[in-house]
Amino acid sequence: MKILVDHADINAIKKMYEYYPVDGVTTNPSILKKAGRNPFDVLSEIRAFIGSEAELHAQVISKDAQGMIKEAYKMREVLGENTFIKIPVIPEGLKAIKALAKEGVNITGTAIYNQMQGFLAGKAGAKYVAPYVNRIDNLGANGIQVAKDIHDMLKNAGLETEILAASFKNSQQVLELAKYGVGASTIAPDVIENLIKVDAARCAVDVFVKDFEALCGENKTMNNL
């Protein structure tokens, strides 16, 4: 499962890249709002840091297909071909996805709350579809199940579209979908950090260090024996 960083703050992104095996960055307009600067400046800064080969996902704002298509080409021009254009899976969005996918533009179908949105976006040619796991849970449905169903439906239909699971709020949600083998998850830095926040592991390390120091002397490591 690929892991993308769901954030627009360059320092938070740099930290994730330093410590974790991550594969790219996703943003949406609400995430960009938090950055509080010209979105193209923010996205260009992220692109410069992650490099031209890494995945960068950024969303269109227009509500009509023609406007979405125009935005998609502008974003691709400024941010490079490996930019995944996030298009909400509403009827106008599907129309735009069909047109853009035919031209080889990388699309992520977003704002997915049910199985058929995901399936139709895949059939229309999206490379990824992004079910909003936690937001679905908040509606009283089962976000994990929706993501698993879409994954199965795409595979059963022989489509290459992968899940980009989104809107995670806890480790359990990520774990469930990693076990299921979905293609990718986009996760905010605080949720990524919680994935391996295990006190028992930290205690185990402390005991190992104490034992080693008892054997070899204080502040000794393999480096200064």
Ligand X SMILES: O=P(O)(O)OC[C@H]1O[C@](O)(CO)[C@@H](O)[C@@H]1O
Least Å from the CB of residue 129 to ligand X: 10
Calculate ∠ Cα 72-181-157, nearest 5°. Answer: 65
CB 47 within 8 A of CB 79: yes
Taking CB under 6 A as the binding criterion, the range among 95-103, 126-134, 139-147, 155-163 that sits at the site for ligand X is 126-134
Q: How big is the site for ligand X, counted in residues (CB under 6 A)? A: 14
Confirm whether 34 is a catalytic residue. no
Footprint of ligand X on residues 92-121 (CB under 6 A)? 110
Nearest Cα to 63, choosing from 38, 43, 33, 89?
Answer: 89
CB 105 within 8 A of CB 82: no
Q: Which of 132, 144, 146, 185 binds ligand X (CB under 6 A)?
A: 132
Footprint of ligand X on residues 59-88 (CB under 6 A)? 86
Active-site annotation holder among 70, 86, 102, 197:
86
- The answer to whether residue 155 forms part of the interface with ligand X (CB under 6 A) is no
Residues that bind ligand X (CB under 6 A): 6, 26, 28, 31, 57, 86, 110, 130, 132, 134-135, 166-167, 186
* Positions marked active-site: 86
